[in-house]
């Protein structure tokens, strides 16, 4: 049987010649070519560090799942020991697939998608106090077939949206980009505190501060911003019960502090090398062993050396992104990548500091390691954004962006 004829396509070249190509062959190779281009442009070191954190999370959830399953079991419903482990794998499969698809997108498409999701999640935050579900005294979840926290999806998209606003300064230095970004973060902060969620409000404020600083915020304005943050925390302590309770519990003891104290004892009980997988005993009394306090569970069963490795991997993620941005020539790319990294690594270190009794209990998960449903999807979407934004053609020469010039304006 003769093979089907190949259709030829002729195109004119710049020197007046004619180039002949097989349309069928070119179409068949297109997907593979796109994959090769993605693999050439993506930061494979950063991708490897992210997958390392995901793998650590699989082990951590496997270690913490029995403790949480026992605590949440009732006389009528007995959860299997690995209930959260298998659920975590299902969410990871969906999240990693989404991450790869998002990382494939061009930078402009990422920016547009993030802005649309950011606007939708702000609307979601407005709806939360009205129709949101209340869990453990906080109203943070919406139900659309599955429950999700709008703030989780807002975190990565806020970083990109704020970076986009601040990057307008390149076109026109007179645009009030700082003021517009302050209005955005203030609106989000107020909506979060209505839930109440003081910890996430501080995280959004921290991401904004990093972006504003990198965009060329003058030293005088930096000092004013720092003073404003201190004043906001003091006012929150005096007039916002959620902040008052958490800070008082951290300083003088209480139910929140008792949980953190138990987490610290669990963390140290494994010594340097740990007791071994599923051999820890203190974790059985630990609340949220598979989410908020998974770092302590890892400390008990895998040892302090494993905890140190986790800290080093998060640090390596931040350093790798900074190295990637050293010779970047686009301000939006610098700001968006820095904001996404600040959000991811900042949340990680807040969680770790809580487990070390160095920060008030927040209820903030350890990114890419803790168990999570929609929050896992949101985190991996953010990682997909980061991988897409930091993609670059290794053969194109680049000039360093003169960010110091912005600071003189």
105: tokens are: 């997108």
pLDDT of residue 398 exceeding 90: no
List C-alpha distances in Å: 178 to 9, 119, 170, 227, 232: 52, 19, 13, 16, 18
List C-alpha distances in Å: 349 to 103, 313, 341, 343, 358: 25, 12, 12, 10, 10
Query: Which ranges constitute the DSSP H helices of 194-330?
Result: 198-214, 219-239, 241-252, 255-269, 294-302, 304-325
pLDDT of residue 10 exceeding 80: no
The arithmetic mean of pLDDT across residues 304-321, rounded, is 96
Whether the link from the prior residue into 196 is cis, omega within 30° of 0, is yes
The arithmetic mean of pLDDT across residues 179-201, rounded, is 88
Element (H, E) at 143: strand 138-143
Please tell me which of 141-150, 157-166, 185-194 the model is most confident about, judged by mean pLDDT.
Answer: 157-166
pLDDT of residue 115 exceeding 90: yes
For 100-113, how does the pLDDT look when each residue is reduced to its tens digit (9 = 90+)?
999 999 999 999 99
Q: Pairing relation of β-strands 138-143 and 133-135?
A: antiparallel
Lowest mean pLDDT across 292-301, 379-388, 391-400: 391-400
pLDDT of residue 217 exceeding 80: no
The per-residue b/e assignment along 215-244, b for 16 or more CB within 10 angstroms, e otherwise, is bbbeeeeeeebeeeeeebbeebbeebebbe
Q: CB atoms < 10 A from the CB of 52, how many?
A: 16
pLDDT at 57: 95
The pLDDT confidence band at residue 21, using thresholds 50, 70 and 90, is low
pLDDT at 7: 53
pLDDT at 137: 61
Spans of all domains in the chain: 35-71+80-408
- Whole-model pTM: value is 0.84
For 289-301, how does the pLDDT look when each residue is reduced to its tens digit (9 = 90+)?
888 899 999 999 9
């Amino acid at each position: 049987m003769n093979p089907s004829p190949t259709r030829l396509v002729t195109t004119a070249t710049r020197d007046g010649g004619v180039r002949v190509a097989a349309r069928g062959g070119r179409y068949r190779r297109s997907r593979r070519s796109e994959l090769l281009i993605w693999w050439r442009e993506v930061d494979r070191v950063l991708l490897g560090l992210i997958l390392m954190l995901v793998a650590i999370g699989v082990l951590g959830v496997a270690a913490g799942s029995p403790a949480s399953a026992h605590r949440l079991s009732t006389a009528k419903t007995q959860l299997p020991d690995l209930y959260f482990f298998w659920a975590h794998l299902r969410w990871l499969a969906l999240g990693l697939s989404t991450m790869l698809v998002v990382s494939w997108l061009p930078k402009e498409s990422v920016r547009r998608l993030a802005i649309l999701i950011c606007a939708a999640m702000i609307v979601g935050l407005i709806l939360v106090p009205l129709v949101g579900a209340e869990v453990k005294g906080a109203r943070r979840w919406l139900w659309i077939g599955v429950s999700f926290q709008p703030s989780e999806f807002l975190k990565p998209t806020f970083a990109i949206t704020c970076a986009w606003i601040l990057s307008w300064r390149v076109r026109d230095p007179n645009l009030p980009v700082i003021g517009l970004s302050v209005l955005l973060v203030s609106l989000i902060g107020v909506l979060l505190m209505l839930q109440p969620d003081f910890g996430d409000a501080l995280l959004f404020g921290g991401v904004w501060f990093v972006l504003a600083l990198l965009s060329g915020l003058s030293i005088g304005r930096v000092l004013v911003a720092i003073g404003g943050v201190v004043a906001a925390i003091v006012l929150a302590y005096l007039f916002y019960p959620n902040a008052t309770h958490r800070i008082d519990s951290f300083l003088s003891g209480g139910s929140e502090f008792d949980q953190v104290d138990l987490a610290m004892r669990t963390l140290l009980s494994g010594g340097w090398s740990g007791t071994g997988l599923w051999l820890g005993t203190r974790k059985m009394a630990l609340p949220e062993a598979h989410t908020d306090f998974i770092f302590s569970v890892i400390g008990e069963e895998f040892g302090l050396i494993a905890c140190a490795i986790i800290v080093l991997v998060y640090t390596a993620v931040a350093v790798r992104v900074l190295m990637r941005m050293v010779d970047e020539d686009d301000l939006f790319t610098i700001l968006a990548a820095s904001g996404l990294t600040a959000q991811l690594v900042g949340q990680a270190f807040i969680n770790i500091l809580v487990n070390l009794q160095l920060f008030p209990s927040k209820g903030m998960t350890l990114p890419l390691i803790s168990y999570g449903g929609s929050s896992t999807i949101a985190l991996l979407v953010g990682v997909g954004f980061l991988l897409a934004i930091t993609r670059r053609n290794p053969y194109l020469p680049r000039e360093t962006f003169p960010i110091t010039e912005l600071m003189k304006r």
